[in-house]
Chains A and B, each alone.
Chain A
């Protein structure tokens, strides 16, 4: 045997033993890891449970203390004592027997009463039957029978009453014997129940199981297990401010409108909803997971997934503001972005630019617009002097001019004209849109050019023609046509070119110089290469009308090879583009390789990734970069379920085949001229910068409209500049007034009507609603002076004075009411007081729930507030 097993002299038992121990240890580790290591949510749920337990316990203790303090405890003790006494007394010999006997008598009485009632009802039935026959036949025997039955009925009635009389004393005696035990028991029950309920809450919390909790959303293939750790996210009360236990911020807006069981978490927040093992994995901050979690305001980017109209969307204020940047910089000019089709050119028309500006200025501007004006919207293309000249050469040659400059710096201005121009400038409130020397201007909504150096840029002839009729040079411009006389325009131009000059301007071509053909060719190539035609209308680069046969094939644009319909990459799905498809170029190692970093870096330094990129630099501030990136991040290639979609009003109208509103008749001409919709919204068209005029006809008095148009003044002094509902008074509000367009001095083209008449007429014909009554209902029984007195009293009682001003007294949040009797129609005030938010959902005015009468009184009072014309 030994010879057969000589191998065993070298025993391997130790190795096997060691390996077994390692295997055992590994197995133990596997079990531990699966129970605890990979299940951190167990720990969080336990912690949340104990925090919630503490909170409930504290509430319970507080309730107990309150119970003791308010005498509830004493009352309970008293009641219990009383109950014990009664029970003791009840147990005495003889008492119980008496109780049983009394109860038996009471039952007996009830039976008798019920029988009596039955007999009574039967007899009544017979009586009615007999009465019916009697009225039909008039036979006397029926009459006799009726009398007999009536006697019977009276007898039953009496018997019933007698029985009922017996019931009272019986019940009283029973009550005396039991000492009112039933009532005492009920009260004790009620007192205890309130406390028991709270105790039960604690017990229920303690019983709740530790388990994976998830929202399973079938049609988006999501299983969001975020709530496994974020246990308090849906709670309406804050259990702990510590993460992950907090409740959802603004939960009543976000979760209230998006039931988590139907939307889940990651649909808005991204991140890796299925992950449960570590915080990094769950929040998606791991390699190869391309959707890190969106936090804070950044989450609002997801509103864009479903909501077509986010302008007045509660909770989407940040992203709604940020989308303005797309409009401001006109990203859609070079990139295809869904929802921004057909937005019009962001830059001015350049067809005849050679007749407008100085050549030297054009070259300087092309090289670096931001250097000329820091508020310039045109980006920097990094053109060399030579390239900029070529482009200017092309543009000037297409306008039929040569290289030429006009220099007004050395000219002596006509002082009288300048003074007149200065007055006109402030009267017409040009500064409302145009910035000069860092003052005025509205760069959020209108983007009118800065005019601080206009005298060194444009020539007098052009300025004159421009102010006279802006639509002629640039159809579709936002600049309104002010009704100035030629003399007034001359004065304004004189003022502009003498006051607003550029000290650093060069005028190298005061003597015009011919343009070389080679330079024109080079300029054209550059324009095509960089796609200037995306933002500007340029001669020779127009969109070509394509044949219908091509249009059906989807071809809408046809030019030389270099020209594309949109020169930039399509941005429809940039927010969900796979990171592999983003070209990080030479920055691969310097910035973190995720989509958001890419987008931000692209906006910061568009050509930094590698050579040969063409996107210009917009010189965005870091704030703008973040804001714009948050919008771009929201353009996702999504398969959003239809049930999530909230199309905008316009989309709904289009789907329903409702034609969009169009201004008609002479009013359309006035709108095209004065551009009311630059600031006002009328029937859904226009900006939200000034009051909505859709119902102005029902609201405003004709005489007031006329006088306001003649001399516009501030109506809402503070609110005008404040963010909706933000009510932050930190930023100093500017006094913004409507410009004075000099309406009423000229006739509308081809007609005899003054433009004010046209406006007033349109207001009264079109901008009205039947929902607003023309007049206030009349209250006949109260005298008018008394009504006005009551209205005044209401005005004082409800504290209207806190926001509204009458005379010099009152707050400045609401409109000044000193002249409201001349301004508003009584029917509007009456309707408005019923529900101030009906026609303007975001108004700050509270709904006081006035009765109709109160509203009539208030209206009648307000209508007395009139300023006499000065």
Chain B
């Protein structure tokens, strides 16, 4: 190949041809081997059916509708808020895992670890701040998402069930935010959790300060606040419980519900879109 164009002096063209040949060789090497095929199962022609199959055949993408109507991607209708919420969740998961590498959920060390993110851990400042900003952002965005769904009437049939899931996810988002608040173990978090759990103590039937508590023999040591704090006041147990709810339990439940949520978006006829289109 190189020999045929060595004489004409147009080196540029020659190289172009060369790259083309190399590219196609590379393409074959990458795609026509066992590993590629074992992952992507088939080599397909670019047609409607195969495109749908590609979506079906992918564990991540199959949650998504195979086809999206053009009107559904109009930003003006959906505002993209659900997707942005999900993006925030991913950012929070990644930065959260990094933070967990350095953080000890004990009363002695929690605050000092927090200080060390700022003063000592490489990229600690940006990691912790990203986590915090993303958390605030997620709470705001998830509420705007609900607002949009409500205003466009997207909760109506056939999406009633998914609206219900969404409401639970909203509560879970708030709980993530609430439990994460205590983890820096500073005055702000301490009193926020004190006040928050005291509200639990005043809940009818659940808290010892709530109505009917005396009839149900509810005391500060067996009510909902005790369950939340692992004690009668905010202390080491409350910190540990917050940590486990925040880092393991709630994210796990939320992930499962998100999977269901996305699946139902697909099953309930794709993402909602302007009706008269």
Interface of A toward B, CB cutoff 8 Å:
4, 7, 30, 33-34, 38, 212, 221, 223, 225, 274-277
- From residue A578, how far is it (CB to closest CB) to chain B in Å? 9
CB under 8 Å from chain A, chain B span 64-115? 70, 73, 108, 112, 115
- From residue A548, how far is it (CB to closest CB) to chain B in Å? 36
Q: Which of B39-47, B120-128, B252-260 contacts A (4 or more CB under 8 A)?
A: B120-128
Q: A34-B123, A34-B125, A274-B120 given; name 9 further pairs at CB < 8 Å.
A: A30-B123, A33-B125, A38-B125, A221-B112, A274-B115, A274-B116, A275-B115, A276-B119, A277-B119
CA distance A7 to B68 in the complex (A): 14
Closest to A27 in B: B126
Closest to B71 in A: A7
CA distance A753 to B256 in the complex (A): 101
Top-10 shortest CB links A-B? A276-B119, A274-B115, A30-B126, A274-B119, A34-B123, A275-B119, A277-B119, A38-B125, A221-B108, A34-B122
CA distance A708 to B118 in the complex (A): 70
Is chain B's interface secondary structure helix, strand, loop, or mixed overall?
helix
A-B contact count (CB 8 A): 31
In the complex the two chains form, is A4's CB within 8 Å of B70's CB?
yes
- From residue A469, how far is it (CB to closest CB) to chain B in Å? 61
- Chain B residues with Cβ below 8 Å from A30 are 123, 126
Closest to A276 in B: B119
- From residue A278, how far is it (CB to closest CB) to chain B in Å? 10
- Chain A residues with Cβ below 8 Å from B118 are 275, 277
How many positions in chain B have a CB within 8 Å of any CB in the partner chain? 13
Of listed B118, B120, B122, residue having the most chain A CB within 10 A: B120
Known contacts A4-B70, A7-B70, A274-B112: does B126 contact A225 (CB below 8 Å)?
no
Q: Mark B172-205, 1 if CB is under 8 A from A, else 0.
A: 0000000000000000000000000000000000
- Chain B residues with Cβ below 8 Å from A33 are 125-126
What are 11 A-B contacts with C-beta separation under 8 Å? A7-B73, A30-B126, A34-B123, A34-B126, A38-B125, A212-B120, A223-B116, A225-B120, A275-B115, A276-B119, A277-B118
- Chain A residues with Cβ below 8 Å from B119 are 225, 274-277
- Chain B residues with Cβ below 8 Å from A223 are 112, 116
- Chain A residues with Cβ below 8 Å from B73 are 7
- Chain A residues with Cβ below 8 Å from B70 are 4, 7
Closest to B119 in A: A276
CA distance A33 to B123 in the complex (A): 9
- Chain A residues with Cβ below 8 Å from B116 are 223, 274
- From residue A219, how far is it (CB to closest CB) to chain B in Å? 11
CA distance A274 to B73 in the complex (A): 50
- From residue A114, how far is it (CB to closest CB) to chain B in Å? 66
In the complex the two chains form, is A276's CB within 8 Å of B123's CB?
no
- Chain A residues with Cβ below 8 Å from B120 are 212, 225, 274, 276
- From residue B33, how far is it (CB to closest CB) to chain A in Å? 32
CA distance A274 to B123 in the complex (A): 16
- From residue A290, how far is it (CB to closest CB) to chain B in Å? 11
- Chain B residues with Cβ below 8 Å from A4 are 70
CA distance A276 to B116 in the complex (A): 9
CA distance A867 to B116 in the complex (A): 75
CA distance A276 to B124 in the complex (A): 13
CA distance A276 to B118 in the complex (A): 9
- Chain B residues with Cβ below 8 Å from A38 are 125
CA distance A212 to B122 in the complex (A): 12
CA distance A225 to B119 in the complex (A): 10
- Chain B residues with Cβ below 8 Å from A212 are 120
- From residue A6, how far is it (CB to closest CB) to chain B in Å? 8
CB under 8 Å from chain A, chain B span 11-62? none
- Chain B residues with Cβ below 8 Å from A277 are 118-119
CA distance A34 to B115 in the complex (A): 15
Closest to A29 in B: B126
- Chain A residues with Cβ below 8 Å from B126 are 30, 33-34
- From residue B277, how far is it (CB to closest CB) to chain A in Å? 13
Closest to B129 in A: A30
CA distance A274 to B112 in the complex (A): 8
Closest to B122 in A: A34
- From residue B81, how far is it (CB to closest CB) to chain A in Å? 18
- From residue B44, how far is it (CB to closest CB) to chain A in Å? 19
- Chain A residues with Cβ below 8 Å from B115 are 274-275
CA distance A276 to B117 in the complex (A): 11
- From residue B137, how far is it (CB to closest CB) to chain A in Å? 16
- Chain B residues with Cβ below 8 Å from A225 are 119-120
CA distance A4 to B68 in the complex (A): 12
- From residue B237, how far is it (CB to closest CB) to chain A in Å? 20
- Chain B residues with Cβ below 8 Å from A274 are 112, 115-116, 119-120
- Chain B residues with Cβ below 8 Å from A275 are 115, 118-119
Closest to B123 in A: A34
CA distance A275 to B122 in the complex (A): 14
- From residue A517, how far is it (CB to closest CB) to chain B in Å? 52
Closest to A222 in B: B112
- From residue B167, how far is it (CB to closest CB) to chain A in Å? 32
Of listed B115, B119, B123, B126, residue having the most chain A CB within 10 A: B119
CA distance A221 to B104 in the complex (A): 14
- From residue A589, how far is it (CB to closest CB) to chain B in Å? 22
- From residue A16, how far is it (CB to closest CB) to chain B in Å? 14
CA distance A277 to B116 in the complex (A): 11
Closest to A6 in B: B70
CA distance A135 to B126 in the complex (A): 98
- Chain A residues with Cβ below 8 Å from B123 are 30, 34
CB under 8 Å from chain A, chain B span 114-160? 115-116, 118-120, 122-123, 125-126
Closest to A212 in B: B120
Closest to B124 in A: A34
CA distance A225 to B112 in the complex (A): 13
- From residue A582, how far is it (CB to closest CB) to chain B in Å? 15
- From residue A429, how far is it (CB to closest CB) to chain B in Å? 60
- From residue B91, how far is it (CB to closest CB) to chain A in Å? 13
Closest to B125 in A: A38
CA distance A533 to B118 in the complex (A): 53
Closest to B115 in A: A274
- From residue B102, how far is it (CB to closest CB) to chain A in Å? 13
- From residue A454, how far is it (CB to closest CB) to chain B in Å? 57
CA distance A274 to B108 in the complex (A): 15
- From residue A523, how far is it (CB to closest CB) to chain B in Å? 46
Closest to A4 in B: B70
- From residue A701, how far is it (CB to closest CB) to chain B in Å? 64
- From residue B88, how far is it (CB to closest CB) to chain A in Å? 16
- From residue A19, how far is it (CB to closest CB) to chain B in Å? 14
Of listed A4, A30, A38, A212, residue having the most chain B CB within 10 A: A38
- Chain A residues with Cβ below 8 Å from B112 are 221, 223, 274
Closest to A272 in B: B115
- From residue B68, how far is it (CB to closest CB) to chain A in Å? 12
Closest to B109 in A: A221
CA distance A212 to B124 in the complex (A): 15
- From residue A272, how far is it (CB to closest CB) to chain B in Å? 8
- Chain B residues with Cβ below 8 Å from A7 are 70, 73
Closest to B108 in A: A221
CA distance A18 to B188 in the complex (A): 38
- Chain B residues with Cβ below 8 Å from A34 are 122-123, 125-126
Closest to B130 in A: A30
CA distance A212 to B119 in the complex (A): 10
CA distance A221 to B116 in the complex (A): 13
Closest to A580 in B: B187
- From residue A227, how far is it (CB to closest CB) to chain B in Å? 14
CA distance A212 to B112 in the complex (A): 17
- Chain B residues with Cβ below 8 Å from A276 are 119-120
Closest to B75 in A: A12
CA distance A275 to B123 in the complex (A): 15
- From residue A164, how far is it (CB to closest CB) to chain B in Å? 72
Closest to B188 in A: A288
CA distance A640 to B70 in the complex (A): 70
- From residue A440, how far is it (CB to closest CB) to chain B in Å? 55
CA distance A223 to B119 in the complex (A): 11
CA distance A275 to B108 in the complex (A): 18
- From residue B69, how far is it (CB to closest CB) to chain A in Å? 11
